[in-house]
Structure 1
Amino acid sequence: FLPGDTARHHRAVILDLLQEALTEAGLTSQDVDCIAYTKGPGMGAPLASVAVVARTVAQLWNKPLLGVNHCIGHIEMGRLITGATSPTVLYVSGGNTQVIAYSEHRYRIFGETIDIAVGNCLDRFARVLKISNDPSPGYNIEQMAKRGKKLVELPYTVKGMDVSFSGILSFIEDAAQRMLATGECTPEDLCFSLQETVFAMLVEITERAMAHCGSQEALIVGGVGCNLRLQEMMETMCQERGARLFATDERFCIDNGAMIAQAGWEMFRAGHRTPLSDSGITQRYRTDEVEVTWRD
């Protein structure tokens, strides 16, 4: 989606959506404790559109305002839904790829992509194969990968606990043109090969972070976390370590408003407040910039 189009959509529906949410919950503005919004990271125009509404509503209703980090929203929702206590977190989406663990009131980033996110890699390859966006490119790649039979060797780029996906994408884009034309493989084979390679990289860096932290829990969050093959590979790794894997279904893996509300509620109870002077947006809002005072 283009940022401008997304921002226009948000502006067109947000007030009706707010009223609908209150009506369905049987609540009024008097029942609301605070207003939480996504401060970042993300696309500037959509973030700014919602931040304006959040500031306005907070002032109209005389409620505290809380700017929430998008990634921390995923983590807190994952912890709430699964019951994970102190997991090593694999955060995988279209815009982010990070391995995170909590330490001393911060969510510390132990590893991340040094270029594009894993979800972006999958989405861009879907466009190469002209795979439909309905319901999502990543989901359609997952279904095609189940029918793949041949593993095409692809670059495997892990540097410590960091990963790189741009080289893999360039390689498989070139390979697709050549190998599909000669019949060396099928689109399904390429989807299978790409998934197996990038997911193996993610499993490796998660396991390395778990070993470093002495963690016996792993939690997958973010839109790519819906992928059942990724969950299966992570489960195998956890079983071999005697650890537990926690994952959620698509209702909570994919970006949603409830996760921002949950993180905002944790912040509110811990005494956090976002003053109007600091209530803008931060497109590159790092996970480890937030002081997590609501955890021991």
Structure 2
Amino acid sequence: MVIVIGMEGSANKIGIGVVKDGKVLSNPRRTYITPPGQGFVPHDTARHHQNHVLEVLHQALAEADVTAQDVDAICYTMGPGMAAPLMSVAVVARTISQLWDKPLVPVNHCIGHIEMGRQVTGADNPTVLYVSGGNTQVIAYLEKRYRIFGETIDIAVGNCLDRFARLIMLSNDPSPGYNIEQMAKKGKKLLPLPYCVKGMDVSFSGILSFIEERAKNLLSSGEYTKEDLCFSLQETLFAMLVETTERAMVHCGSEEVLICGGVGCNLRLQEMMATMCKERGARLYATDESFCIDNGAMIAQAGYLMFKCGTTIPVEKATVTQRYRTDAVFVTWRD
């Protein structure tokens, strides 16, 4: 029996999960929400995490009904992410590691999403579409690495959606992407937008600039509504993601797709991907917001797999990095 704690704080969510032999015992989190029209800046986000991390830790232990003595390892997000929030959580992980005399396991945030998705859905060896506020990658596993077949060459799809939500003053509660999704359901008129697929990579910054420059006039003239613009942006971005994912599937001979990351709980994206999978005789795997959105359990799950294979790190080397590539991790726990 192995029990690990996972601590996640790479962006605007502080989450701590407890996992026992691959089973999630608890997974509380708190989200830093800013006023409409504003994003979250690193130092304010870090302060939010500092203010809430101990209450979330106590809640995670209480809900899991475990004590510090029961825990075998402390897993934390090493990166990628925003430096200040990452560091604020890493300090707590290092501290309780020393107080409790437990080993530390450094986890790649992206791989946390993938391994949580595999665990929850039962996907075996899927082509992975990893989409979030800070990352957009098409990934497949081969020879001890998660290989990146395609990715954004500028901003992430979640960042593109978030910035458009700020432009039209949508609420950040519970998240900008969720509110765009709800608005898009009411959209009826499609605005033609640039379609930027470059080989296996995608580009979102030009699409965002295009719609930003025209949004005010389109809305004031009554030609398009906010709902129409949300609908148009979603349809275009998601079509690009489905195309690159399908191309990776063909290359790998894959019959499974796993969508993970915060944008992955968007039901329209899941619907479009499911249509593609059905046409190919493939199967789609996805989760809801409890595991798609950043959470501590995903860090615990990946850390649990790493810990079982003997991966730990001394406290003096338990740092963080904003840029930690998915394919930089040697995957010891898979054949």
Cα deviation, residue 286, structure 1: 0.6
SS in 1 for 2:128: strand
The correspondence of residues 183-262 of structure 1 with structure 2, limited to 5 A, is: 183-262=222-301
Q: 1:180 aligns with which of 219, 244, 250?
A: 219
The match for 1:290 is 329
The match for 1:133 is 172
SS in 2 for 1:219: strand
More helix by share: 1
The correspondence of residues 117-132 of structure 1 with structure 2, limited to 5 A, is: 117-132=156-171
Ranges in structure 1 where 5+ consecutive residues have no aligned partner: none
CA distance in structure 2 between the partners assigned to 1:206 and 1:277 by the alignment: 39
CA distance in structure 1 between the partners assigned to 2:220 and 2:44 by the alignment: 36
Deviation string 1:71-111 (CA, Å, 9 cap, x unpaired) is 00000000000000000000001111000010110111110
The match for 1:154 is 193
CA distance in structure 2 between the partners assigned to 1:62 and 1:72 by the alignment: 26
CA distance in structure 2 between the partners assigned to 1:233 and 1:183 by the alignment: 29
Deviation string 1:46-65 (CA, Å, 9 cap, x unpaired) is 11111111112112212111
More strand by share: 2
Identity %: 76
The match for 2:134 is 95
Once the two structures are overlaid, the 10-residue window that deviates more, 198-207 or 145-154, is 145-154
CA distance in structure 2 between the partners assigned to 1:136 and 1:20 by the alignment: 23
Deviation string 1:124-162 (CA, Å, 9 cap, x unpaired) is 111111111122111111111111111111000001110
Q: 1:32 aligns with which of 58, 64, 71?
A: 71
Q: Please, what is the CA RMSD of the aligned residues?
A: 1.0
CA distance in structure 2 between the partners assigned to 1:85 and 1:182 by the alignment: 51
Structure 1 counterpart of 2:167, which letter? V
Deviation string 1:9-47 (CA, Å, 9 cap, x unpaired) is 222222232223222222111110100000000010111
The match for 1:17 is 56
Structure 1 counterpart of 2:150, which letter? G
CA distance in structure 1 between the partners assigned to 2:229 and 2:119 by the alignment: 36
How many residue pairs match? The answer is 296
SS in 2 for 1:4: helix
CA distance in structure 1 between the partners assigned to 2:206 and 2:138 by the alignment: 20
Structure 2 counterpart of 1:30, which letter? Q
Q: 2:306 aligns with which of 257, 267, 280?
A: 267
Q: 1:8 aligns with which of 47, 57, 73?
A: 47
CA distance in structure 2 between the partners assigned to 1:148 and 1:19 by the alignment: 43
Compute the TM-score of the two structures, normalised by the length of structure 2. 0.87
Structure 1 counterpart of 2:116, which letter? M
Cα deviation, residue 274, structure 1: 1.4
Ranges in structure 2 where 5+ consecutive residues have no aligned partner: 1-39
Cα deviation, residue 181, structure 1: 2.1
Q: 1:76 aligns with which of 115, 139, 145?
A: 115
Structure 1 counterpart of 2:50, which letter? R
